[in-house]
């Protein structure tokens, strides 16, 4: 009988960087970007994650060395070894950020990665569209913090998945595991939509600040909101939510991926 194949997952890239979004901005993290997504947000800046590439790009060290190309799907123990190799000296990174695409399309892999990363002493941070509550339930106990989105229709170009968001937020609120709720806003995002979203967030996930993230112009996606639009949207959200922050994608300013 052939030996059982080790568990694998489709990967886009693994690299060391500074977290560029949300409340952990500026923190050194190892990013594990899993391939595939079931959404198509108009502002998406990682459309290369939709298909599974032939090879994952895996950084050997933060600077200088050429990336390693690992054929997809990648064995989870190989992935964890790559994370451990990058965290040199150990503790250089505060966390591993499991992102995508939509990482929760692969709940079993996220579970195994989280357990392994914790053994390395890394906090486990998961970025998700906030629309896959079943997968959140599967990994809830082994992930330290989640950054779920609130998908505004004006920015994504698709209806907001209110029911999936509600279920996701309730799970996270029950364990106080949401770092923040992130909503991308564009130049045409209406105040009323942001106020309703803020009311929804505070009703279902009151422990988490709401982050309004200005859209970074990308392809045919929404234009970036002006400063005056951001002030108006922040005021509108603040009518419903006690803790609203405006945080842009900082890694773009730094020229980081
Ligand atoms: S959920 Fe993320 S990866 Fe998927 S389409 Fe939206 S922005 Fe892109």
CA of 40 to the centre of ligand 1 (A): 6
How many Cα atoms are found within 13 Å in the side-chain-facing hemisphere of 11? Answer: 31
CA of 197 to the centre of ligand 1 (A): 19
Closest-CA residue to 152 (of 193, 180, 191, 121): 193
Domain limits, the chain: 8-181
Q: Give mean pLDDT, residues 80-105.
A: 97
Residue 1 has pLDDT above 80, yes or no: no
Helix (H, G, I), strand (E, B) or coil at 27: coil
CA of 41 to the centre of ligand 1 (A): 5
The residue whose C-alpha atom lies closest to atom 6 belonging to ligand 1 is 41
Is residue 112 in contact with ligand 1, taking CB distance under 6 Å? no
Whether omega before 101 lies within 30 degrees of 0, making that bond cis, reads: yes
* C-alpha to C-alpha distance for 223 and 242, rounded to whole angstroms: 27
* C-alpha to C-alpha distance for 69 and 60, rounded to whole angstroms: 10
Q: Determine the length of the chain.
A: 257
How many C-beta atoms surround the C-beta of residue 214 within 10 A?
A: 25
Q: Write out pLDDT tens, residues 24-83.
A: 999 999 999 999 999 999 999 889 889 999 999 999 988 777 899 999 999 999 999 999
The residue whose C-alpha atom lies closest to atom 7 belonging to ligand 1 is 44
Per the CB < 8 A criterion, the answer to whether 198 and 236 are in contact is yes
CA of 100 to the centre of ligand 1 (A): 7
Crossing angle for the helix pair 162-175 and 191-204, nearest 10 degrees? 40
Is residue 41 in contact with ligand 1, taking CB distance under 6 Å? yes
Topology of domain 8-181 in CATH is: TIM Barrel (3.20.20)
Is residue 184 in contact with ligand 1, taking CB distance under 6 Å? no
Is residue 129 in contact with ligand 1, taking CB distance under 6 Å? yes
Is residue 186 in contact with ligand 1, taking CB distance under 6 Å? no
Query: Which strands make up the sheet holding 181-185, listed edge to edge?
Result: 181-185, 210-214, 244-246
Q: Write out pLDDT tens, residues 121-175.
A: 999 999 999 999 999 999 999 999 999 999 999 999 999 999 999 999 999 999 9
Residues 6+ apart with CB under 8 A from 86: 14, 15, 16, 30, 59, 61, 62, 93
The residue whose C-alpha atom lies closest to atom 5 belonging to ligand 1 is 40
Closest-CA residue to 128 (of 179, 93, 86, 176): 179
């Amino acid at each position: 009988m052939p030996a059982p194949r080790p568990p694998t997952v489709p990967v886009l890239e693994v690299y060391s960087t500074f977290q560029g979004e949300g409340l952990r901005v500026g923190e050194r993290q190892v990013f594990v970007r899993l391939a595939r997504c079931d959404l198509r947000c108009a502002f998406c800046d990682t459309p290369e994650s939709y298909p599974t590439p032939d090879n994952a790009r895996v950084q050997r060290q933060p600077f200088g060395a050429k990336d390693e190309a690992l054929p997809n799907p990648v064995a989870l123990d190989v992935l964890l070894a790559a994370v451990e190799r990058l965290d040199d000296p150990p503790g250089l990174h505060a966390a591993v950020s499991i992102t995508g695409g939509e990482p929760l399309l692969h709940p079993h892999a996220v579970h195994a990665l989280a357990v392994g990363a914790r053994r390395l002493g890394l906090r486990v941070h998961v970025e998700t569209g906030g629309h896959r509550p079943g997968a959140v339930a599967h990994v809830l106990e082994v992930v330290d913090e989640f950054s779920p989105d609130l998908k505004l229709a004006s920015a994504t170009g698709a209806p907001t998945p209110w029911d999936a968001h509600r279920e996701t937020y309730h799970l996270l609120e029950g364990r106080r595991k949401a770092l923040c709720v992130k909503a991308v806003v564009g130049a045409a995002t209406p105040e009323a939509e942001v106020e309703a979203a803020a009311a929804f967030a505070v009703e279902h996930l009151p422990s988490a600040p709401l982050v309004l993230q200005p859209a970074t112009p990308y392809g045919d996606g929404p234009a970036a909101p002006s400063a005056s639009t951001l002030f108006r949207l922040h005021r509108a959200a603040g009518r419903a939510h006690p803790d609203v922050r405006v945080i842009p994608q900082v890694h773009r300013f730094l020229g980081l991926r």
